[in-house]
Structure 1
Amino acid sequence: MTKDTDFRPSMSLALAQKKAKMLHDIRQFFIKKDVLEITTPVLSHYGNTDVFIESISANFHHGGQLKTGYLHTSPEFAMKRVLADYGVPIFQICQVFRDNERSLRHNIEFTMLEWYRPNFCLSDLADELGELLSTVLGNSITVKSYSYKQVFLDTLGVHPFTADISTLRHTAQIHGINLDMGDDRQGWLDLLFSHFIEPNLGFDTPILITDYPPKTAALAKICHDDEGLPVAQRFELYINGLEIANAYDELADSQALLERFKADNAKRYALQLPIMPIDMNLVHACDHLPSCSGIALGIDRLFMVREQLSNIGEAITITTDNA
């Protein structure tokens, strides 16, 4: 039997009022910049192929037939279809869903802000992100950039693009980690980053980590850094050791996009994960995308930072555990 207090929201009234004001301020920020607010479906026929993101499936009836759909992990796919047709700046604030995510920093359902800017490069988007953070956090914010390569060199003395697996394994071991990522080179890098780099990022000022390995490109373009090494044109924002946002210089090549989706599903098959239906609507729209950059930002985590909260449950009205 549940206790009579179990009905209570996990967020206090005072925090709910502050979060409502924050959402209002975010909307006003984009309205003043003539960025169009849109809504797109939460339920789709297609899921996210990303190996490290688990979609939630949902059964529904359409035309009298039973269908399996997926709750979106981000509004990215649908928003890019809209952008390819409208060609104007757009933003959306919505609920998104990622299965099997539960911790002090994770909830299966959470609130995401996503926006796309035609004719913006990543540095333009970083500048706008700094403006938004200044608006939300209530003071002038300076955002600093730090390349993925340099943060590895400075923190661990390892070059992430040239170090072999044995070096990465040894680095993990001498720092007390005995997990075995086998021959998954990016897996070793992810392990080292999550344990030794990420927890220390963004305490003095918000930090953008840039120029990620190509295997982490997702839907970002690939370019070359100052050493001539291929890197993904993306950045992630960290504040107080929390990943807050993820941005891409958006890929606008349907064939390359389709190949990435197929490669994802091949990895899924090898790992005995569900094969995800590929969103061909997005693939077809991709060739019509204007040159643009886009970014997804976790509203609940940003609110945690602003209010100095240690548990995401305090930033969400009712968590999945008690929904």
Structure 2
Amino acid sequence: MMQTPKTYHPSLTLAMAKQRAEMYANIRQFFAQRDVLEVQTPLLSQAGNTDTFLQSVSANVNYLDKPTTYYLHTSPEFAMKRLLASWQVPIYQICPVFRDNETGKQHNIEFTMLEWYRPNFSLDDLAGELCELLAVVFGKPQTLKQYRYVDAFIDHVGIHPLTATAKQLEEVAKQKGLNINLGDDHQGWLDVLFSHFVEPNLGYDNPTIIIDYPPATAALANMATDGEGNQVARRFELYINGIEIANAYDELANGQALRQRFEADNAMRAKLGKPIMPIDENLLAACDDLPACSGIAVGVDRLLMVATGANSIDDVVSFNSSRA
């Protein structure tokens, strides 16, 4: 008779735990050899993430005997940029991050992120270093395939994402069997079509970076004009075996422009009935002192999944959110 696993047991096997520890050691050695400083920043912040696609986990604390709401960071980005503005040296961090209401085979409320920043690195420089890190993790040389967002969208969806109207995108979605109502949310339609029909096809032959994203996805990235005259965000995302692994920016170093983006995010949050998030004034104050740089965030759990062939994030973390 098959025994039921004891509920206190981890979903992570001892063998996988050893592979995880080895990957951590290799990552740390990789950055030590390149004189990139390991740092540690607070998990709790008085500011939250204004991004409408991310929901911060709030924490009720008492500060000087006064009940106060703090937020567990969705990424160490804001605090790391404050360090970068002061020290002007390359830095990295491996830490837990938190995003509310995220569950699934590739998602967990708490997960682990590797993030690093390189002053005076272009996005191409950063992609090259990412490729070298992947070679260490996978134990063999890697070649990154580069794919424009526009080209990937046309190849797999059949319509130009930056010139199509929201109505045209809605018609394509219906033709492909997606019966949802996003109204005139142009970026919403792009996100749905990309996640359903583009992402699952990416990164099977080689790790693939998608470049030149739509301007609405810029977040904290600089903007540029592509060869067709379209405004695009200076960022890339890494996909392996249909899974998003990393997100990189040519970092915006303009406090006033960043404030405008945060305020626009909060306006959209209000429109969608989502909570308004406190803006990180410390980040805005530091932003104008940021060196020209590129930065990247890598999902450590997902990277371990693809490196080991694991089918679920549950296989690479000790206890998922339902068992924590």
TM class by shorter chain equals over 0.9
Structure 2: distance between partners of 1:274 and 1:169: 28
Amino acid at match of 2:121: F
Amino acid at match of 2:74: T
Structure 1: distance between partners of 2:165 and 2:44: 42
Q: What does residue 118 of structure 2 align with?
A: 117
Q: What does residue 227 of structure 1 align with?
A: 228
Structure 2: distance between partners of 1:80 and 1:272: 30
Structure 2: distance between partners of 1:156 and 1:229: 19
For residues 42-121 of structure 1, the aligned pairs below 5 Å read 42-121=43-122
Q: What does residue 130 of structure 1 align with?
A: 131
Instruction: Give per-residue Cα distances to partners, 1:38-71, cap 9 Å, x unaligned.
Output: 0000001011000010000001111111110000
Structure 1: distance between partners of 2:155 and 2:320: 38
Q: What does residue 322 of structure 2 align with?
A: 321
Q: Do structure 1's residue 5 and structure 2's residue 6 form an aligned pair?
A: yes
For residues 179-258 of structure 1, the aligned pairs below 5 Å read 179-258=180-259
**1:320 Cα deviation (Å)?**
1.1
Amino acid at match of 1:11: L
Structure 2: distance between partners of 1:156 and 1:100: 29
Q: What does residue 281 of structure 1 align with?
A: 282
Which secondary structure does the structure 1 equivalent of 2:183 belong to?
coil
Instruction: Give per-residue Cα distances to partners, 1:223-278, cap 9 Å, x unaligned.
Output: 10001111000000000010000000000001000000000000000011000000
Structure 1: distance between partners of 2:59 and 2:295: 28
Instruction: Give per-residue Cα distances to partners, 1:284-321, cap 9 Å, x unaligned.
Output: 10000000000000000000001101110001011111
Which secondary structure does the structure 2 equivalent of 1:265 belong to?
helix
Q: Is the 8 A contact 2:97 2:110 kept in 1?
A: yes
**1:103 Cα deviation (Å)?**
0.3
**TM-score relative to the length of structure 2:** 0.98
**1:191 Cα deviation (Å)?**
0.7
Q: Do structure 1's residue 292 and structure 2's residue 293 form an aligned pair?
A: yes
Q: What does residue 145 of structure 1 align with?
A: 146
Which secondary structure does the structure 1 equivalent of 2:311 belong to?
coil
Amino acid at match of 1:306: A
Which secondary structure does the structure 2 equivalent of 1:232 belong to?
strand
Instruction: Give per-residue Cα distances to partners, 1:83-139, cap 9 Å, x unaligned.
Output: 000000000000000000000110100000000000000000000000000000111
Give the share of equivalent positions with the same residue, in percent.
Answer: 58
Structure 1: distance between partners of 2:279 and 2:36: 29
Q: Is the 8 A contact 2:301 2:317 kept in 1?
A: yes
Amino acid at match of 2:96: Q
Which secondary structure does the structure 1 equivalent of 2:322 belong to?
helix
Which secondary structure does the structure 2 equivalent of 1:53 belong to?
coil
Moved more, 162-171 or 134-143: 162-171
Q: Which runs of 5+ in 2 are unaligned?
A: none
Structure 2: distance between partners of 1:77 and 1:40: 9
Given the superposition, is the C-alpha separation of residues 176 and 4 from structure 1 closer, same or farther in structure 2, using an over 3 Å criterion?
A: closer
Structure 2: distance between partners of 1:49 and 1:236: 20
The ranges of structure 1 where at least 4 consecutive aligned residues each deviate by more than 2 angstroms after the TM superposition are none
Given the superposition, is the C-alpha separation of residues 5 and 81 from structure 1 closer, same or farther in structure 2, using an over 3 Å criterion?
A: same
Q: Is the 8 A contact 2:201 2:242 kept in 1?
A: yes
Instruction: Give per-residue Cα distances to partners, 1:162-221, cap 9 Å, x unaligned.
Output: 011221111111111111110100001001000000011101110000000110000000
Q: What does residue 176 of structure 1 align with?
A: 177
Amino acid at match of 2:179: N
Q: What does residue 23 of structure 2 align with?
A: 22
**TM-score relative to the length of structure 1:** 0.98
Q: Is the 8 A contact 2:167 2:184 kept in 1?
A: no
Amino acid at match of 1:106: H
Structure 1: distance between partners of 2:122 and 2:146: 15
Structure 2: distance between partners of 1:18 and 1:51: 35
Structure 1: distance between partners of 2:5 and 2:134: 39
Which secondary structure does the structure 1 equivalent of 2:195 belong to?
helix
Q: Which runs of 5+ in 1 are unaligned?
A: none
Which secondary structure does the structure 1 equivalent of 2:22 belong to?
helix
Structure 2: distance between partners of 1:312 and 1:114: 19
**1:4 Cα deviation (Å)?**
7.5
Aligned CA RMSD, in angstroms, stands at: 0.8
